[in-house]
Amino acid sequence: MSIEKVKVLSVTFEDGEEILSNLKKALAESSVEKCRITTVEGKISDFDINVFVAGEFNERHVGEEYRLASVHGVFEEKGNLGYNGSLTVSLAGEGHKVVGGDLLKGKAAGEVTIKAEVIKFK
């Protein structure tokens, strides 16, 4: 049997805060070199997402609020280049609308909490 102890970083965004840039900022402030995004709670709005349709990726803008149903991704610091990584999300909107793909930008609609398993600190 093996037991792995992990550190969990929890980042909470307030209404209107941009998610990706502030997530990268929180990782830097917490001296995280590499992490795996594990969970998310909350809603986003005014977001751009890269969706896969008919064999190709297409950027789509959505202004409405969508609930973050699931998220995953890995972020790793690349020296002077900052953090490289992406958030792949599944989103649920009103009237059974569903969208998923790589989040390019988006704002918290209310409070949003993202948790990450820290793989390596600086």
Say whether pLDDT at 104 is over 90: yes
The number of angstroms, rounded, from the C-alpha of 115 to the middle of its chain's C-alpha atoms is 9
Domains (ranges, CATH) in the chain? 7-121 (3.30.1330.80)
Average pLDDT over residues 97-122: 95
Average pLDDT over residues 47-71: 92
Place 2 in a pLDDT band, splitting at 50, 70 and 90. low
Q: For residue 82, give every residue at least 6 positions away whose Cβ sits within 8 Å of its Cβ, in sequence order, or none.
A: 24, 28
* CA nearest to 19, candidates 119, 87, 94: 87
State pTM to two decimals.
0.89
Q: What is the pLDDT of residues 8-47, one digit of tens each?
A: 999 999 999 999 999 999 999 999 999 999 999 999 999 9
* CA nearest to 23, candidates 109, 35, 120: 35
